[in-house]
Structure 1
Amino acid sequence: MSDTEINPILDQEDLDNPLRIILVIDHPENKEMNEMEERLIDSIQSFKQMDQFFDSFDEMVAVPNESHIKYEVGSDGLVVIIVDNLKLRDDVLAFIDGYADKNEEQDNDEEDDDDEEEETSSKKKTKKN
C-alpha cells in the first residue's frame, strides 16, 4: 500500500476516547516555571476528525512556529504539545478553543437542520391526510 492511498477502515474508525490535549509550556531559561494546560475536544472522536483538526493546526499554528513547538499524537486520542513561550501557548489554546467552539456550532446547526427536516416531513404527512 502506498503512502497516498487512503485506508477506508482507519478513516471510519473511532478513537477510544475523545481528543484530549495536554499542552506543556517548557520555559528553556527557567524549568521551575514550566506549566501544563489540558483541553478535551468531545466533538473529535474519529481518526478522520482528528486528521482534519491536525491539518488545520499544522497550517495555522505548528508550521509557522516549527522551531518552537513539538507534538506527539497517540492512537488513543491523547495528544501532547510542547511549546517554549507564553505567546505560542496562548496561540495554541486560542486555536484549540476556537476549533472546539466551531465544531460545537456545526453540530448544533446539523441538529437544527435535522429538526427542520423532521418538521417539514411531519407537515407533509399531515397535509396528505
Structure 2
Amino acid sequence: MYDWLKRVISTNKTLLKRYVLISLVSYLFVLTFLFVLVNYFSLNETLAFFIVYAINYFFLYFIQLRYLFAKKHNILRLFKFIAYILVFYALANLIYNAFLSIQIHYMLSSILTIILLFPIRLMVSKIYVYK
C-alpha cells in the first residue's frame, strides 16, 4: 500500500502542490470570513458556514478549472462540479454540525471538517469533475 501511495504522490507532485496552495488560500478565506460573520455580525454558526462555503465553492470552480487542472469550461464539467459541490457541501455541513452538536468550538469544527474532507475532495475532483 505504501508503494502505491508513493507512486501516486511522485507522479502528481505539481498537482498536489497546487492543490495544497489553492486549498490553503481557500480555507484561510473560509476561516477568516466564518470568524468575521460569527463574531462581528453575530450570525449563527451554521448560517455563516453555509454562506462562506457557498462563496468559496463558486470561486473554487474557476480557480481549479484553470490553475489546477488546466481545463476549459464546458457545461458537462460545470454540472459535475455542481454535483460535487452538493455532495461535499452536504457532507461538510453534516460533519461540521456533528462536531458542533458535541460542543466542539465552531472554528475547531471547521478545521476538523477541512482535514477530514481534504484528500477525498482532490481525488473526486481529479477522477470525476475535471477528468
TM-score (norm: length of structure 2)? 0.30
Which structure's residues are more often helix, by fraction? 2
Which structure's residues are more often strand, by fraction? 1
Larger Rg: 1
